[in-house]
Structure 1
Amino acid sequence: MTSTAHPPELYIGLMSGTSLDGVDGVLVDFSGSALKVLGHATGGFSEAFRTELLALNTPGDNELHRAALAANTLARRYAEVVQTLLSQTGVAAHQVRAIGAHGQTVRHRPQEFDVAPGQAGGYTLQLNNPALLAENTGIDVVADFRTRDVAAGGQGAPLVPAFHRQVFGRAGQALAVLNIGGISNLSVLPASASAGMLGFDCGPGNALMDHWCQQHTGQPFDRDGAWAAQGQVNPALLARLAAEPFLHKPPPKSTGRDLFNPAWLAQQLASLPQVSPVDVQTTLTEFTARACSDCVTSYAFDSKVLIVCGGGALNRQLMLRLQQHLPQVAVASSEQHGLPPLEVEAAAFAWLARQTVLRLPGNLASVTGARGERVLGAVYPA
């Protein structure tokens, strides 16, 4: 009897996002009708390295040299996570078709200036050394996913909506997927496959909450939102935060730590009567919840399900506030829909690497505003 099983089609996805908390890596098999995550590994960042990455988000002394060294450190950290995945699963390097490595975004300004009508003048920059990663793993690496979309006039972000459609889309059912990393982004999946998808950055995710928590408690994040649950929302501060013009721009739009950073928060706090640290944390949590829920209400109004992934899905207080603001929507972690929240973005970059290898588009023009679909990424052979 002839076997109908397909040989494995293995890719690794690596993601270190704007939360700056480390690397998530997954080994994914795409040979079946649905992707299968065979392994998940993480690698943390030292406090010194995290501080350096955060500093590189703004201009500074000798930053080109520092950025190159940071890229090397990141590539070595990526390689360690890859080796952990291979050891964990018993898979040999030669069995993996490619690694998708997003890199660490330190600048994202896709519409920085106009060169000429209809031409891209902005840029996006992710620290990475994919050549070093290929050298250290013996596996082809696909990297630099965003710049091709920017070159085509797009935002270069978010890139995960096409993957969200592949994994979470349901025929005849409108739903939305909210990724809450350092920055939050929303994918709107219409009920009809023929309808255009929408996806965009909502605003801050964990970035401001994590920064404030680290500064005032020494902890890298507010576990379960327990600290935020102890305070009160400060209406004056919330109003200032919510007045940020980015939040009121229509999509396509994208943002990052270029905007939502400690200096921006300090500016919002300036000249206000002193607000207690715990009330600031509560207000930041409410701000993130409202920024996300407002986007769902405005652009995913026919969705009855909101699937939440990323580290924010583990913040109980944030999830409660989202549900409070969206009473007609079932707010649930992506784990309840087949993929744990900390695996989703890494799996998305495994999928994007596969799209590149197969010379298939990885972006959605309706999401990024690019002039059309494009094959994304550059390949660094092992």
Structure 2
Amino acid sequence: MTWFRAIGLMSGTSMDGVDVAFIETDGKGDVRQGPRASFSYSDDERRTLRAALDEAVRLTDRTARPGVLAQAHAIVTDRHRSAVVDFLKANGLDKGHVDVVGFHGQTVLHRPERHLTVQIGDGAALAASLGIPVVWDMRAADVAAGGQGAPLVPAYHRALAGAAHLEFPVAVLNVGGVANITFLPGDGDPIAFDTGPGNALLDDLMLERTGQAMDRDGKTASAGKINTQALMQLLDNPYFKAPPPKSVDRNDFSRAAVADLSTPDAAATLVAFTAQTVADSFALLPQRPRRVIVSGGGARNPVLLDMLQERCGCEVATADDMGWSADAMEAQAFAYLAVRSLNGLPLTFPGTTGVATPLTGGVLSRPA
């Protein structure tokens, strides 16, 4: 068995910053978790990234970087470079201690029905500047083959759950800008799909109305009341009943239904929207999971966790409760996927993205 030392990098749809995580793994069932850290974007950087989202809507060529996208592309590359450099220094690691970096980039457009997914950030430039091999552009091969290109993390969820000897079936729920669920039956490949909105609608509401990037600890939502009429409007979307495989873009859902509500009531209603769509997604699974394990920023929102417990009809725990990492889960996953890519192992499966057969992916860039 060959072990690899890998760093994973993730900048999610919430655009909070860059998550960095170090793991050792064989790319199969063995994972040793190491240090992790987060590096926030500045307010100016975050504004540029948000502007890039608006620009990306018009893209038809996934390699094009018109207008502000070129600036955002450079920001993402440089911020990931500095994050790795700072991470290595903080943890007393030399670049020679790292076999590969898994670099997700920043998703600015995800339209698999058009065979189009766009993650900005230059993996080749990152490899050259760090002096470490980088595996990047991990969604493209799946989308080109007719898959949804998302979610990508289920292979890592399966490795963690297997190593923990959990009682199956179990589900791992990641609540980032978008929420996605991985159903692990115990035997066979995982089933996974985007359940719908995660934190993006709430984050956008808070930024617009308060200037804050998020509802930290759910304090605003906890002061509000769910507006049932608005919630019903939000839930009236055919996506939620569509069978998997399926995935969404962070901008596929609107806040129009809560536009006239107070900020606390709007926040509470949007959190209920996320929780209810997760609970409703169980109808699309072969059976109800015994436990739902929550990771991502949503695991830090006690209001969301309470609503999930109320609606899901099973035990709800956080990744931290399991000895995993709610914050670093996706960064760890992209380190793990980079190792799988190096070994030619599948990153996606028919039950996770709808691709016809299990498929590897990623582009390997080596330092010059």
TM-score range with shorter-chain normalisation? Answer: over 0.9
Q: 1:234 to 1:302 in 2, by over 3 A?
A: closer
Does residue 72 of the first structure (1) align with residue 74 of the second (2)?
Answer: yes
Tell me the secondary structure at the aligned position of residue 66 of structure 2. Answer: helix
Counterpart of 2:6 (choices 11, 20, 39) is 11
Read off the aligned partner of 1:322 and give its amino acid letter. Answer: L
- Cα pair 2:181 2:192 within 8 Å, conserved: yes
Deviations 1:318-345 (A, max 9, x none): 0000001123x11000112121101110
Corresponding residue for 2:30? 34
Read off the aligned partner of 1:326 and give its amino acid letter. Answer: C
Tell me the secondary structure at the aligned position of residue 149 of structure 2. Answer: coil
Corresponding residue for 2:310? 324
Moved more, 127-136 or 202-211: 127-136
Please list every run of at least 4 consecutive aligned residues from structure 1 whose deviation after the TM superposition is greater than 4 angstroms. Answer: 60-63
Cα deviation, residue 95, structure 1: 2.3
- Cα pair 2:77 2:125 within 8 Å, conserved: yes
- Cα pair 1:178 1:306 within 8 Å, conserved: yes
TM-score normalised according to structure 1 size: 0.89
Counterpart of 2:106 (choices 104, 107, 116) is 104
Moved more, 233-242 or 33-42: 33-42
Corresponding residue for 1:372? 357
Distance in structure 2 (CA, Å) of the matches to 1:173 and 1:228:
33
Gaps of 5+ in 1: 1-5, 113-121
Cα deviation, residue 246, structure 1: 1.6
Does residue 46 of the first structure (1) align with residue 42 of the second (2)?
Answer: yes
Alignment of 1:149-228 (within 5 A): 149-169=142-162, 170=165, 173-191=168-186, 193-194=187-188, 196-228=189-221
- Cα pair 1:180 1:308 within 8 Å, conserved: yes
Deviations 1:281-318 (A, max 9, x none): 11001111111121135426331111100010010100
| Greater C-alpha radius of gyration | 1
Cα deviation, residue 172, structure 1: 5.7
Corresponding residue for 1:59? 55
Moved more, 178-187 or 90-99: 90-99
Read off the aligned partner of 2:294 and give its amino acid letter. Answer: V
Distance in structure 1 (CA, Å) of the matches to 2:2 and 2:151:
31
Distance in structure 2 (CA, Å) of the matches to 1:58 and 1:248:
28
Distance in structure 2 (CA, Å) of the matches to 1:344 and 1:103:
16
State the aligned residue count.
358
Cα deviation, residue 275, structure 1: 1.9
Counterpart of 2:138 (choices 142, 145, 168) is 145
Moved more, 214-223 or 317-326: 214-223
| Aligned Cα root-mean-square deviation (Å) | 2.0
Tell me the secondary structure at the aligned position of residue 232 of structure 1. Answer: coil
Deviations 1:55-94 (A, max 9, x none): 2223379961421221111111111111122112222112
Distance in structure 1 (CA, Å) of the matches to 2:110 and 2:18:
20
